[in-house]
Structure 1
Amino acid sequence: MTITEKDRDVLARTLWGEARGEGLAGMVAVAWTIRNRVNDGKDKSWWGEGYAGVCQKPYQFSCWNRNDANYQFLSGARAIPFRELAQCRIAADQVIDGKVPDPTGGATHYYATTMPKAPDWTAKAKRTLKLGNHVFFRDVP
């Protein structure tokens, strides 16, 4: 698969929107969740095609929902602080380039513990990791 500059940029912006307060380890874990969706082994994935397609699939990563407070930054209407975006780009590049192992154990889903309650889908999924304010899962029905 050819990785474009758009893929790298959209992944970095997604990490800013989803995990900027989680440090490099948390951003890497979220990026691996996205990579696991990108590499799900199917020619035409339900998740979307490439990193940009997976990140911007409607209703998968809330930061890309138009009514989310992060959207104005991700869309470019407002600037993301340079240093914050630079850290997100480092995490994105490390995961895309395979320079760091998957700490999530193959997770394709996560949720933030700041949510009022865990999503229903977690009941039948395999929990693989809790890191910071995120809990990661695979084998989600």
Structure 2
Amino acid sequence: MAVSDKDRDILARTLWGEARGEGLAGQIAVGWTIRNRVFDGNPRSWWGEGYAGVCQAQYQFSCWNKNDPNFAYLSGAKAIPVRELVQAFKAADQVITGAVGDPTGGATHYYATTMPRPPIWANTAKQTLRLGHHMFFKAVP
């Protein structure tokens, strides 16, 4: 699959919006969750098409919700600090090229442990990784 500049940019911004406080390893893990959705093998996947399509699909990644405080940064209305954006692009590039393996074990979902309560789907899904403030899952019903 060809990855466009837009795909790369949207993926990096999503990694910043979802996991900027987790360091490179956490951003890579979130990136692999997105990649697992991109390459789920279903030609009519409801996730979206390509990295930009998956990242910006409605209700998938809260950082892209217009009422989320991160949206102003992701949309370009506010500037993301350069050092932080460079790290997010580094993580995005490593995920896109497969330069690092999937630390999530095939996860397609995650949630931040800072949420008031876990999402309901976490009760029956298979947890694959806990990294920083994120828990990763696959086989989500």
> When the two structures are superposed, what TM-score results if normalisation uses the length of structure 2?
0.99
1:105 equivalent in structure 2: 105
2:24 equivalent in structure 1: 24
Amino acid at match of 2:50: G
Moved segments of 4+, more than 2 Å: none
Cα RMSD between the aligned structures? 0.5
Rounded to whole Å, the distance in 2 between the matches of 1:24 and 1:87 is 7
> 1:41 aligned to 2:41?
yes
* Structure 1 unaligned regions, length at least 5: none
* Structure 2 unaligned regions, length at least 5: none
The sequence identity of aligned pairs, in percent, is: 72
* Residues 93-124 of structure 1, C-alpha deviations (whole Å, 9 max, x = no match): 00000100000000000000000111100011
Rounded to whole Å, the distance in 1 between the matches of 2:79 and 2:72 is 9
Q: Matched residue of 1:96: which SS?
A: helix
Aligned-pair distance for 1:80?
0.6
Aligned-pair distance for 1:44?
2.0
* Residues 16-52 of structure 1, C-alpha deviations (whole Å, 9 max, x = no match): 0000000100000000000000000011211000000
Give the total of aligned pairs. Answer: 141
> When the two structures are superposed, what TM-score results if normalisation uses the length of structure 1?
0.99
2:88 equivalent in structure 1: 88
1:57 equivalent in structure 2: 57
